[in-house]
Structure formats: structure tokens, C-alpha cells
Amino acid sequence: MIPSDIRSDFPLLSKVCYLDSAATSLSPEPVLEAILDYEHNFRANAGRGVHRLAQQASQKYGDAHQKVKKFIHADEEGELVFTRNSTEAINMVASGLPWQKGDQVVATLLEHHSNLLPWMRVRDRQAIDLRLITPAKDGTLDPATLEALITKKTRLVAITQVSNVLGNIVPIREFARICQDYGALLLVDGSQSVPHIPVDVKQLGCDFLCFSGHKMLGPTGTGVLFMKNPGLEPLLLGGGGVERVTAAGYTLTDGYERYEAGTPNISGAIGLARAIDYLKSLGMENIQHHEQTITRLIIEELSGIENVEVVGPGPAGDRIGVISFVIKGINPHDVAIMLDGEAKVMVRSGHHCCMPLMEHLGLSEGTVRASLHCYNTIEDAELLIDTVREIAGDFTG
């Protein structure tokens, strides 16, 4: 069970009904307090000095890496690097692998642009072959579709664990087994999975996992790249990423510092670590169950409203609390504006950075998307449902 009193940790909830966590989640007061503690009491650069403030900042920053690794059950293997977001993490992989002409990458039409455009650029610059898996209309991805596309030339498969539009959970482990059979690397976009369901990189069988802090109660400008076998060429070179520099050349350092040249987002990392503490205190299984209960109510009720169509898997599907819908005859942006104006309900509208998927689904104007997190309630769901019913009724009337 998720305690109802956690809403007091999110002051904004007293002013609005926030249903846009798939874009950016709210941060609880303990996260903000952790950030301010750094700013007030030991603001200094990490890994750059020996005075007490620098040592404390370095310790907290290093601890944050370990805490995130443990959260995804990667504490015994691989390397974890802090980035600005999932987008940067995915681009680090795309730019850091030694591509050869004729290499293949397989992605899907479910992907957020951040897990599609980098591979398109590699295709255009390195003359690789980019192949795309087409999902079913409800977002389902059949592993057999990968079997039909993958070859011995496939260097990497890039796939989301959860669709940011439809909310369906992809059976990553089955895709991982196919990748292993063909010797292909597997990159998983965990932007929508890590904040909402238990994730274990060992069970997933992936080589890379990318996710963003701002979707999991953490600060904006924080992200993560996990590498099972660190061997990428660093995206950036500079201070902190080298062991030794001479006029003749340089030697890169080991560990996450190799990939984090320059002054990092220290306060953000500390805030992200505190967000993980918060999520763990609630329990990821509890969060998943809590959101599924609310999701079922929303889908069942919206599906019964005339002229409202829910897009994606039904309430019993393997999914998270991301619900996309359309009201026939009304632009999704107009619906979002009306939800805000009439009931202070905050939702996302449009293509959700998934234009190829929207084209595949025949949704030229996109959808309205309501998305949940641990702080949402049945009352939030009922307010959304009642307001959508009024909007749809006013239109049909």
C-alpha cells in the first residue's frame, strides 16, 4: 500500500491534479532538502580537492553512483555513468561504438525520438542498415518480429521497455535471448520502466540501460547510462576524465570518471540518490500495484464514454499507468487546455516525441496522455474521468 500522507511531500498537488509524470514527475520535499543540504553545507567540486568540503562532496557523489547501481541490481557488475538524461545516455552509446559499414541496428516504431534519431544519424553517417520492428495496434511487440529482422550483421538492438505513449511493457528478456543468439548488443530505454516497476539488469540481460532522473522523482538534468561491459569511446574529454596528460598525449582514467569529463551535476546526483531512497521506502512492487489499480479504473471508465477512444492495451494488459486517449472531433491540445481550465488537470497532448508511432496508428494529431506516479489517487482518476465525460458530452450535445 502507498500511504496517502505522502501527498504532503508534494506541495504542488494541493494546487493541481498532476497527471503528466511520464514527461516529468514531481520531486518530494526530501529530495529538495538533500539538494539544499549540498548547496548550504558542502558545495564544492567532486573529485577535485582535498579540503573537507571537496571530500564530502566527492563522497556523496560517489555514493550516489553506488546507490543507483544497487537500485537496478547492477552493484556487482558493469559501470554506471551519470548523464543529463536518457537522450544523452543513448547518444553516448551511438557515438561511442566503433561502427563499420554494413553493421545493422534494429529498433522499433514504439521508440521515443531519443531512441530513434541517434540511430538514424548513425545510419546516415556510417552507412549502417537500420531496421524497424512494427508493433501491433495495441503496442504489443512479438519477439518473433525480431527473429525475422536480426542477422549476424546486427550490431545492436535498441528497444524501449515501456512505451511512453501506450504504456505497454515489452518482454525484454525474450528479446535479449535472441540478441545473445546472434551476438548482438542490446540497449534498453528504461525511461518509463525504472520509475514505475522493479528493474533488474541481470534479469533483463541487456548490455546498456538508459533512464532519466526527472521521471523518477529526481531533479531535471539527471540521467543514467549503465554499461555491462564499459568499452565505449567517451563522448567528452576534459578535466576529471584523465589519469595523466602531457604535451604528447593523455591517458584516460578508469571507472565512471572516464565518461564524466567536466564538472558534473553534483547536486542533481545527490537529489537522484535521495529520490531512490524515497522510491525504495515505498517499494517498487507497491508502486506498480498502486498505479495499476488506478490505471484500470481510468481505462474502464474512459472506454465507456461516447466518442472517447482509449489507445493501447486494455486494463488487463501488461502495462504501467500511461493512458492515451482521443475524443473524436476534438484536437488533443484543445482537450488538454480544457482539462486544465475546467478542472486543473495537467495532462500531455500531441505526438509525445513518437511521430512514427502516431503515423502507424493513424493519429495525425496525436493523443491526450494521462500518466501516473506514486502520489496519484483514485480521486485524481475520478476527476479526470468526470471532466472528460463533460467535455465529450458538451461536444456531442
Q: What are the DSSP calls for 154-219, one per residue? A: EEEEEEESB-TTT-BBP-HHHHHHHHHHHT-EEEEE-TTTTTTS---HHHHT-SEEEEEGGGTTS-
- Provide the residue type at 283 as one letter: G
Name the CA dihedral angle for 63, 68, 71, 76, rounded to a multiple of 10 degrees.
-70
Grid coordinates standing for 2? 502507498
Grid coordinates standing for 364? 495525425
353 given a catalytic annotation? yes
Grid coordinates standing for 81? 555513468
DSSP 20: B
- Cell 537522484 found at: 272
Could you give the CA distance from residue 246 to residue 205 in angstroms, rounded to a whole number?
40
Please name the helix (run of DSSP H) or strand (run of DSSP E) that holds residue 152, with its range, or none. Answer: none
Centre a 10 Å sphere on the Cβ of residue 259 and count the other Cβ atoms it contains.
Answer: 25
Centre a 10 Å sphere on the Cβ of residue 101 and count the other Cβ atoms it contains.
Answer: 8
Could you give the CA distance from residue 199 to residue 183 in angstroms, rounded to a whole number?
23
Could you give the CA distance from residue 15 to residue 270 in angstroms, rounded to a whole number?
27
| Cβ–Cβ under 8 Å, residues 84 and 259 | no
Grid coordinates standing for 176? 535479449
What are the helix (H) ranges across the chain? 29-41, 52-71, 86-96, 117-126, 143-149, 172-182, 201-204, 266-282, 284-303, 332-343, 355-361, 378-396
Report which of 394, 202, 188, 211 is spatially closest to residue 308, judged by C-alpha positions. Answer: 394
Please give the radius of gyration of the chain, using alpha carbons only, rounded to the nearest integer: 22
Could you give the CA distance from residue 13 to residue 34 in angstroms, rounded to a whole number?
20
Q: Name the active-site residue from 17, 210, 353, 374.
A: 353
Catalytic residues: 353
